[in-house]
Amino acid sequence: MLKVAPDLVRLRAYTSVADLVSHYIKDERLRQVFSFHPLLIGGNPFESTSIYALIHTLERKFGIWYAQGGTGVLVRALVKLFEDIGGVLHLKQEVSRIQVDERSGRATGVQLTSGETIMAESVVCNADVAYAYLNLVPDHARRKYTANYIKKMRYSMSLFVIYFGTDRRYDDIAHHEIVMGPRYKGLLNDIFKRKVLAKDFSLYLHRPTATDPSMAPEGCDCWYVLSPVPHQGSRIDWTQMAKPYRDSIITYLEERYLPHLSKHIISEHHIDPLHFEQTLNSYLGSAFSVEPVLIQSAWFRPHNVK
């Protein structure tokens, strides 16, 4: 880490993405366009280290790729590859604990909620890092990542996501649309600092049928729209707020971008921070786990261990 310290200083990694962009761009609208990218990985542009300005550069240089047929095609291809080389999948088998040898400190297997133990030469865990340390890794193997340490870390925002299908196409909408609301920094403060559910929002609207018509029946579109919201460190009661929040987003889209949307929705499902917390086992319902501020980025993030 010491070797790259001079480079971090030269690249002004100690500044935020928003500050870096503002140094070169004066128009407030363009500042938003060139600084919102940390939100894609759960970061506040006004807090995330400027090294994440690379996201914009990498997207411009290498593009954004889409798997024809959707993410499910990629999952099925990985399953086939895994099974072709001899792997065996055990689906719907919940892990309750990672077994770690106390003497060597090496992971030796996993224990399932059924009581079964599966021994292994290597254990790969891609669960939420906070959930893993708090619930799966035994106390003696946590090293510095004690429960107190994990709970003091900063965590990304959560998301409210509506998946829906329409019985008509909206061909003037691109595959990816960023809809900026009336406020920028103020809204981000509400989400990351004040942790309140604002009446306004900024949205990411995703229409994969613009690229891949096979994702919906002929003449139809499939979509999702997501809104960044505070994680479960807030006092928002999503059992009460999910429906009105959903309605406000659909109304907003209908009035500005998708005419008569309500009457054309033929399938719909939404998820909120409760889903991230209770179904996906994400600590605090965070959608992106540890927040990408400087002291929680790169080398400072929890390391892989043997």
Residues 208-253: pLDDT tens digits?
A: 999 999 999 999 999 999 999 999 999 999 999 999 999 999 999 9
In terms of domains, do 181 and 221 share one? yes
Question: What pLDDT is stored for residue 157 in this prediction?
Answer: 97
- Structural domain contains residue 6: yes
φ/ψ of residue 90, rounded to 5: -115, 95
Domain of 130 in residue numbering reads as 71-152
In this prediction, what percent of the chain has a pLDDT beyond 90? 83
In terms of domains, do 176 and 111 share one? no
In terms of domains, do 274 and 174 share one? yes
Question: What pLDDT is stored for residue 302 in this prediction?
Answer: 82
Over 70: is that where the pLDDT of 183 sits? yes
- Structural domain contains residue 114: yes
- Structural domain contains residue 299: no
- Structural domain contains residue 138: yes
Report d(CA 13, CA 294) in Å as an integer: 7
- Structural domain contains residue 223: yes
In terms of domains, do 241 and 175 share one? yes
* Four-CA torsion 56, 202, 177, 224, nearest 10 degrees: 120
Question: What pLDDT is stored for residue 136 in this prediction?
Answer: 97
Report d(CA 38, CA 17) in Å as an integer: 8
In this prediction, what percent of the chain has a pLDDT beyond 70? 96
In terms of domains, do 135 and 196 share one? no
Question: What pLDDT is stored for residue 297 in this prediction?
Answer: 77
Amino acid identity, residue 280? L
Over 90: is that where the pLDDT of 182 sits? yes
Over 90: is that where the pLDDT of 46 sits? yes
Run of H or E including 148: helix 147-152
In terms of domains, do 95 and 133 share one? yes
Amino acid identity, residue 206? H
Over 60: is that where the pLDDT of 1 sits? no
Residue 219's CATH number: 3.30.519
Over 90: is that where the pLDDT of 294 sits? no
- Structural domain contains residue 303: no
In terms of domains, do 77 and 42 share one? no
pLDDT band at 13 (very low <50, low <70, confident <90, very high): confident
Mean per-residue pLDDT over the chain, rounded:
93
Give the number of C-alpha atoms closer than 13 A to the C-alpha of residue 76, restricted to the C-beta side: 7
Question: What pLDDT is stored for residue 230 in this prediction?
Answer: 98
pLDDT in tens, 80-115: 999 999 999 999 999 999 999 999 989 999 999 999
Buried b (16+ CB within 10 A) or exposed e, 182-209: eebeebbbbbbeebebbeebbbbbbbbb
In terms of domains, do 111 and 191 share one? no
The single residue listed with the structure tokens 């909620």 is 113
Residue 110's CATH number: 3.50.50.60
Number of domains in the chain: 3
Average pLDDT over every residue of 20-49: 95
Over 70: is that where the pLDDT of 8 sits? no
Q: In Å, how far are 32, 61, 146, 190, 277 from 185, measured between CA atoms?
A: 9, 28, 33, 9, 26
The answer for residues whose C-beta is within 8 angstroms of residue 197's C-beta and 6 or more apart is 190, 229, 230, 234, 236, 241, 245
